[in-house]
Amino acid sequence: MKTTITLITFLLFTTTCLLAQQDKFIEDSIERLENSRKYLLLVADMMPEEKYGYKATEESLSFAENLMHIGFALDWHSQSLLGDRKARVYQTDTVFKPANKTKAEMMARIDQTFTEAIALLQDVSPEQLDTELDYFGLTRSERQICMLLADHITHHRGQMLVYMRLNGLTPPRYVLYQ
């Protein structure tokens, strides 16, 4: 009997610890998105609007296209993969295309998209993080989607920082954990 009680206690403790770690993952992901939003909006604000069309090479995305691509991917990964909304089609979507949008409109759209993604993450259960999805022919968990999303934001924001330098601007100081 004593062995059974010890085993049950151990299993309950282990389960509680695992759930707490997964809750912490969600909290950490939200914190990272909040910090990433602040930094990305600062970068977007520092680039003069007349430079939003700048491209490093002909085949590159422009500064504005990188910004809006971040928004599209954030929306798609969060709302369509983690949420249950039908995916937008990049080729036909107009919400995240920079055409006919001012700098202020693009920044507002990005800010709103971060708000929506963070709200969705706040409702994700720890168990949901283990759900596996088809991701371009690969099997990925929702936890991996959260990590991939952060990498994607960093990748395109890094291109935007280079564009700032190529236009004689000093990007804002990097702040850790974003």
Q: Supply the pLDDT for residue 105.
A: 98
Instruction: Write out the chain's pLDDT in tens, 178 residues.
Output: 666 665 565 555 555 444 445 589 999 999 999 999 999 999 999 999 999 999 999 999 999 999 999 999 999 999 999 998 998 888 888 999 999 999 999 999 999 999 999 999 999 999 999 999 999 999 999 999 999 999 999 999 999 999 999 999 999 998 776 6
The architecture of the domain spanning 26-166 is Up-down Bundle (1.20)
Q: Supply the pLDDT for residue 121.
A: 95
Whether the Cβ atoms of residue 150 and residue 125 lie closer than 8 Å to each other = no
Length in residues, the chain: 178
Q: Supply the pLDDT for residue 90.
A: 85
143-156 exposure pattern, b = at least 16 Cβ within 10 A, e = fewer: bebbeebbeebeeb
Is 69 a known ligand-binding residue? Answer: yes
Measured in degrees and rounded to the nearest 5, phi and psi for residue 79 equal: -75, -35
d(CA 121, CA 5): 37
Q: Supply the pLDDT for residue 17.
A: 47
The dihedral built from the CA positions of residue 59, 146, 153 and 84, taken in this order, carries a sign that is: positive
List of E strands, 31-177: 132-135, 138-141
pTM (2 d.p.): 0.85
d(CA 123, CA 125): 6
Maximum separation of any 2 CA atoms in the chain, in Å: 76
Q: Supply the pLDDT for residue 6.
A: 57
Is 156 a known ligand-binding residue? Answer: yes
Is 77 a known ligand-binding residue? Answer: no
Q: Supply the pLDDT for residue 116.
A: 97
